[in-house]
Amino acid sequence: MTKYRDEVFNHEQLKLIEEVFRHVASQMNFQILEINGEDEHVHALIEYPPKLSVSKIVNALKGVSSRRYGKAGFRKPHNKSALWSPSYFAVSVGGTPIEVLIHYIKNQKKPS
């Protein structure tokens, strides 16, 4: 979620976030199975090995994407240095078919 829940993402910005997330995933050896977002948050379905912690993954995704977002010349919420809220929501799934989760993420209200 973006800092202060500001509506900052458009299609181009979400495309950059996805590119950065996928780059971080390849560097850290985990997979982004699906990603999509709305104007103030991003949903990502991630498959990761047990040696990685959720907090390390989220920290890397948020840190790298915030820096790249600023370098690309996009405005951060309230013109501050932080793009993301320090909080996040993560849930593990076991019994739900992956296709259901992918469908849910793909059908988020994407900004234009």
Going residue by residue through the chain, which has 112 residues, state the pLDDT in tens, using 9 for 90 and above.
555 455 778 889 999 999 999 999 999 999 999 999 888 889 999 999 999 999 999 999 999 999 999 899 887 766 667 788 888 999 888 778 888 888 888 887 766 5
Domain membership of residue 112 (yes or no) is: no
Domain membership of residue 73 (yes or no) is: yes
pLDDT (0 to 100) of residue 14: 93
Round to whole Å and give the CA distance between 31 and 11.
Answer: 22
Q: What is the pTM of this model?
A: 0.84
pLDDT (0 to 100) of residue 4: 46
Domain membership of residue 75 (yes or no) is: yes
pLDDT (0 to 100) of residue 112: 59
pLDDT (0 to 100) of residue 110: 67
Q: Which helix (H) or strand (E) holds 43?
A: strand 42-47
Determine the 3-state secondary structure of 71 from DSSP: helix
Which tokens go with 108?
Answer: 């988020």
pLDDT (0 to 100) of residue 5: 57
Domain membership of residue 90 (yes or no) is: yes
- Domain boundaries, position 73: 3-106
Domain membership of residue 111 (yes or no) is: no
Q: Judge contact between 30 and 50, C-beta under 8 A.
A: no
Domain membership of residue 47 (yes or no) is: yes
Domain membership of residue 41 (yes or no) is: yes
Domain membership of residue 13 (yes or no) is: yes
pLDDT (0 to 100) of residue 8: 77
Q: How many domains does the chain have?
A: 1
